[in-house]
Amino acid sequence: MQKNHHSATTPSRGRLSKAERRHQLLQTARQVVRHEGADRLTLGHLATCAGVSKPVVYDHFGTRSGLLIELYRWIDIERINAFRELMAGTTRSLEDTAQLLSSAYIDCASNNTDEFYAVGAALAGSDEKAAVFQELLDNCVQMFVSVLEPHANLPAAELERRCAGLVGAGEALAGALVRSRYAKAEVIATFTSLIQGALQQPA
């Protein structure tokens, strides 16, 4: 039954390149977390669901922790790329850009029901998570830079520092939203204001 549940994520077997196989395994791992929970994601169970032998999975990830970290990173990069694509190709005002960026970021950072949150919770307390979490924050800062750069009349280094501050503020606001300290509309409005204010030149 488990095999059938995940078979839709399994491409033609046996003739995939290493990169294609890795992508297939990560897709299948995400489906396991989505439908069965992160606790069920072991290397052996992933091998069964993906229709491959255990050595194939061990060759790609080594350990369960390695698998969780790679899945955590992969989901985050996928989300950042999807957002970049959403923002690209359309000319928007700073106000519209700030509103869209704020709403998307708060939605994402405060979502405690998706696979990204579940995988992060499974990694909680590990040294590996601390390292990869910083890497993902850095990726997020660069995403903010790329989205806001067309609206910024600032040196590149200053824009990056301000975006780092914005990401930190967004994390704090999303955390407050999760704790029900503020309403979602209030948090998004505040973050929108911070984004717009961050692009102003000092007097």
**Residue-level pLDDT, tens digit, the chain, 203 residues:** 344 445 444 444 457 888 999 999 999 999 999 999 999 999 999 999 999 999 999 999 999 999 999 999 999 888 888 887 877 767 889 999 999 999 989 988 888 778 888 898 888 877 887 888 888 889 999 999 999 999 999 999 999 999 999 999 999 999 999 999 999 999 999 999 999 999 987 64
State the Cα–Cα distance between residues 155 and 146, nearest whole angstrom. 13
Q: Is residue 28 part of a domain?
A: yes
What's the first-to-final CA gap in the chain, in angstroms? 65
What is the number of alpha carbons within 13 Å of residue 106 lying toward its C-beta? 26
Spatial neighbors of 178 by CB under 8 A, at least 6 apart, are: 110, 112
State the Cα–Cα distance between residues 151 and 149, nearest whole angstrom. 5
Q: Is residue 147 part of a domain?
A: yes
- AA identity, residue 18: K
Q: Is residue 168 part of a domain?
A: yes
- AA identity, residue 17: S
Which region holds residue 188: left if phi is over 0, alpha if psi is between -120 and 50, else beta? alpha
Q: Residue 107: which domain range?
A: 72-198
Question: Could you tell me the two tokens for 41?
Answer: 């994601």
Closest by CA to 36, choosing from 65, 3, 70, 60, is 3
DSSP state of 52: S
Q: Is residue 203 part of a domain?
A: no
When divided into structural domains, the chain yields a total of: 2
Task: Report yes or no on whether pTM surpasses 0.95.
Answer: no
State the Cα–Cα distance between residues 9 and 181, nearest whole angstrom. 39
Domain boundary among 12, 33, 62: 62
Q: Is residue 173 located within the same domain as residue 137?
A: yes
Q: Is residue 148 located within the same domain as residue 48?
A: no
Q: Is residue 67 part of a domain?
A: no
* pLDDT score of 109: 85
Q: Is residue 115 part of a domain?
A: yes
State the Cα–Cα distance between residues 47 and 51, nearest whole angstrom. 6
Domain boundary among 24, 40, 62: 62
SS3 65: helix
* pLDDT score of 202: 63
